[in-house]
Amino acid sequence: MRSMLKASIAAFATTAILASSAFAAGHSEKLTGDLKIFLDTSNPAPRATFEGLIEDFQTMHPDLNIETTIIDREAYKTQIRNFLTANPPDVAAWYAGNRMLPYVEPGLFEDVSDLWDDELSTQLASTKSAMTLDGKQWGVPYSYYHWGIYYRKDIYEQYGLSEPKTWDEFKANCQTLLDNDIKCFTIGTKFLWTAAGWFDYLNLRTNGYEFHMALTNGEVEWTDDRVKQTFANWRELIDMGAFIDNHTSYSWQEALPFMVQGDAAAYLMGNFAVDPMQTAGLTDDELDFHQFPMIVEGIPMAEDAPTDTLHIPANAANKDNARAFLRYVTSADVQTEINGQLGQLPVNNQSSVNQDDKFVVEGFEMLNNASALAQFFDRDAPAEMAKAAMEGFQEFMVRPDNLDTILNRLERARQRIY
C-alpha cells in the first residue's frame, strides 16, 4: 500500500516542518526506494497526527514509496516480536527504557547511536539515558509526558501552604491539611499502576535513578535495606492517614471527585489528568502543579516521563531511509507540531510548547532539567515482575505491617523471573 495518507489535521504546518533546521542540515537529498512503517497509533488523535507527519515526509520525498501499517496498541504489543523476527518493517514504534531490552538483547533492534551526534544528544539530552542500553542508543523518542503533584491551589492558599521543596515541608503541609479534615492525596489503586507512581517517586528520591533502574532490572534484592527505606518513607504518609480511604475501590478517574470536591488536596498523576479535572470544573485559579520534592539531599532529581519511541529493526531492508525518517521526527519543528496535536510534550529541547498551558510549560521545563527519566514502573520492569510488585504496592498501602511478607514474596519472584 503506497502511503498517500491525507493529512487530516489542517493545523499541521508543512512549511514549518520543511524549514526544520535539525532535519535540513545535511539531509536535504531526495530519497528513493521503499520505507515500511509499523505504528501502534490507533487512537484517533495519534493516528491523524502520524498521517499528517508521513504525508509531509512523502511530500519532501515524492519518489519514496512509503507503506504504513497501523495496528491496535494492545495487539501491537503481542505482535511485535513476531514481525521483528519474521518480516520486519523499516521503522517500528515502541517505548524507551527497559521495555527495549527484550528486543535489544536478541538483536532485533538496530543500534542507531550514529544518529545521536553531538547536536541531537544535546537536544534530546533528557531522554538519552532512557534510550541507552550497553552504552548504545537503540531508537529515538518523539513524545513524552510528565508526572508530578497536581494540587488545589485555593486550598493551599487557604491554609497558608506553599509548594514543598523538601520531604519535611511535604509532610508538614500534609499534617496541616489533615488537621483541617482534608486528606492530603487522592488515589485510586483498583488497577494497581497508580500505586507504582508513588513507589517510583519515593524510590527515585530516596535512592536515586541508577538504583531504581538496577532494581527494576532485577539487579537488587527486594529485601535490600535501601528498598526498605523507600517503604519506610512511604509508611510515614500512610501512618499519617495521608491517602483517601478505600482507595482500592476506585480507578484513577473515580478518585478525581475527592480532589474536585475538596475532600483531598492533591494527586500524584500524569499530565493526562488535567483535562478531566478541568472538565469537572476546576479552574486554573484552583489547580496547580509542583515537582515531587527532594527526600535525600544530594540525590539528583529524576522524573517519571513515559516516552514513545521509534526504532529500526535489525533486519530492516531500507535502513538508510529509516534513518532519514527518524532524524526527521526528532527535529525541533516537527516535534513542536506533532506534540501540539498529541497534547503531549516534545522531547527536543529546542521545540516550543503552548505557552497558554501552564501545566505543559512547567512540565516541559521540569523534564528538560531532569537528571534522568524513568519510564514508569510497569515499563521499566518486565511485565511479570511489574504485576507482582504492583500487587505488593497496593497491599502495602492497605496493610503496611505486611511489608516483610511482601518483600520476601517479591524477592522470590525476582529470582524466578530474571
**pLDDT tens, position by position, 341-371:** 888 999 999 999 989 899 999 999 999 999 9
DSSP for residue 30: P
Residue 137, pLDDT above cutoff 70 = yes
**Taking the domains of the chain in order of start, what are their residue ranges?**
14-145+306-373, 147-304+382-417
- For the segment 377-391, the average pLDDT, to the nearest whole number, is 94
CA atoms within 13 A on the CB side of 245: 4
Contact 336, 6 (CB under 8 A): no
pLDDT of residue 28: 60
Neighbours of 44 (CB within 10 A): 9
**pLDDT tens, position by position, 310-346:** 999 999 999 999 999 999 999 999 999 999 888 899 9
Which CATH superfamily is 14-145+306-373 part of?
Answer: Periplasmic binding protein-like II (3.40.190.10)
Q: For residue 294, give the C-alpha cell.
A: 527532594
Which CATH superfamily is 147-304+382-417 part of?
Answer: Periplasmic binding protein-like II (3.40.190.10)
Residues paired with 39 in a beta bridge? 70
Contact 126, 367 (CB under 8 A): yes
Are the folds of 14-145+306-373 and 147-304+382-417 the same? Answer: yes
**Cα 79 to chain centroid, rounded:** 22
**pLDDT tens, position by position, 262-295:** 999 999 999 989 989 999 999 999 999 999 999 9
Contact 373, 130 (CB under 8 A): yes
Residue 256, pLDDT above cutoff 90 = yes
Contact 223, 231 (CB under 8 A): no
